[in-house]
Amino acid sequence: MTDTYTVEPDVGFINEVSRLGGGDLKKCFQCATCSVVCPISPDTKPFPRKEMIAASWGLKDRLVGNGDVWLCHNCGDCTTYCPRGAKPGDVLAAVRSYAISEYAPLKTLGKWVNEPAKLPLLLAIPVVLLARFISVGLLLTVLSRFREFSPRLFSIMTWGGLRGGISIALALSLPRGPERDIIIAITYGVVVFSILVQGLTVEKVVQRFFSR
Ligand code: SF4
Ligand code: SF4
């Protein structure tokens, strides 16, 4: 007796993959040209043709948890040779973007990765943390000549460095211009991240480092 498999399409997933750049996925008519030209397609699995089926049927679980989609290096050969213009390379890139936002510990940050306008803010957060780590490190290195500090203090003082009114006031004091608006937007983002994420997790960080 043959096994039966009930297909449960996730229309929301199809729409989201389309929005993220895979809008031509429904044009695929399963000719398998992409699997022939793809340099990483194994003989036993028609990659990325089977991913195109899963995407056009909205089988989210078969794609976002599928490690194969991360093997694609987006060379674009499949997209070039696809006779239907279904752009399988773009569909796989869209699935990867979807997976990032799906698995990101903070969903909002995961979504920002897919929005070019949010990238400056996304980069600003680690840059600010790194700057804080370096400044704390320099200070504690100098002070360590006079007394001993636990190495854990570096991490806690870096994560516990919350930003607020002074940062915003400095940004608002800049002369008017397009750069000022960008800097203000990034500053607000960093401050909100600092208060909501760092502020609400600093207790856990302290417990983690000092409970050892
Ligand atoms: S994506 Fe294009 S090349 Fe690949 S199976 Fe579909 S129609 Fe054929
Ligand atoms: S873009 Fe990805 S799936 Fe397409 S041919 Fe290149 S490696 Fe293969």
- Alpha-carbon gap, residue 41 to 35, rounded angstroms: 6
Task: Identify which of 24, 25, 68, 73 to mutate to test ligand 2's pocket (most ligand atoms within 8 A of the CB).
Answer: 73
Report the pLDDT value the prediction gives residue 109, as an integer from 0 to 100: 67
Cβ proximity of 88 and 78 under 8 Å = yes
Report the pLDDT value the prediction gives residue 53, as an integer from 0 to 100: 93
The radius of gyration of the chain's CA atoms, rounded to the nearest angstrom, is: 24
CA of 29 relative to ligand 1 center, distance in Å: 6
pLDDT digits 0-9 by tens, 92-139: 999 998 888 877 666 666 667 667 777 777 788 888 888 888 888 888
Residues 101 and 122 both lie in one domain = no
- Alpha-carbon gap, residue 85 to 60, rounded angstroms: 22
Report the pLDDT value the prediction gives residue 67, as an integer from 0 to 100: 84
Residues 101 and 121 both lie in one domain = no
Question: Is residue 200 assigned to a domain?
Answer: yes
Question: Is residue 125 assigned to a domain?
Answer: yes
Residues 133 and 76 both lie in one domain = no
Question: Is residue 6 assigned to a domain?
Answer: no
The answer to whether the CB of 72 is under 6 A from ligand 2 is yes
Report the pLDDT value the prediction gives residue 106, as an integer from 0 to 100: 65
Question: Is residue 111 assigned to a domain?
Answer: no
Residues 206 and 137 both lie in one domain = yes
The answer to whether the CB of 78 is under 6 A from ligand 2 is yes
Residues 126 and 155 both lie in one domain = yes
Ligand 2 atom index nearest CA of 71: 7
**Helix H segments across the chain?**
11-17, 33-37, 49-56, 60-64, 77-81, 88-103, 107-113, 119-143, 152-159, 165-172, 178-193, 199-210
Question: In this structure, what are the phi and psi dihedrals at residue 72, rounded to the nearest 5 degrees?
Answer: -60, 130
Residues 121 and 92 both lie in one domain = no
Range of the domain at 144: 116-210
The residue whose C-alpha atom lies closest to atom 7 belonging to ligand 2 is 72
Long-range contacts of the stretch 30-38 (C-beta < 8 A, 24+):
31/83, 31/84, 33/78, 33/81, 33/82, 33/83, 34/78, 34/81, 34/82, 34/88, 35/78, 37/77, 37/78, 37/80, 37/81, 38/72, 38/77, 38/78
Report the pLDDT value the prediction gives residue 90, as an integer from 0 to 100: 94
Report the pLDDT value the prediction gives residue 210, as an integer from 0 to 100: 64
Residues 56 and 127 both lie in one domain = no
Question: Is residue 190 assigned to a domain?
Answer: yes
Report the pLDDT value the prediction gives residue 200, as an integer from 0 to 100: 82
Residue 107, token pair as written in the block: 């969903």
Task: Identify which of 84, 90, 91, 92 to mutate to test ligand 1's pocket (most ligand atoms within 8 A of the CB).
Answer: 84
The answer to whether the CB of 170 is under 6 A from ligand 2 is no
DSSP 48: T
Residues 100 and 158 both lie in one domain = no
Residues 24 and 52 both lie in one domain = yes
- Alpha-carbon gap, residue 55 to 61, rounded angstroms: 10
Report the pLDDT value the prediction gives residue 27, as an integer from 0 to 100: 94
The answer to whether the CB of 75 is under 6 A from ligand 2 is yes
Residues of the chain with pLDDT under 50: none
Looking at the CA of 47, which ligand is closest?
A: 2
* Domain tally, the chain: 2
Question: Is residue 98 assigned to a domain?
Answer: yes
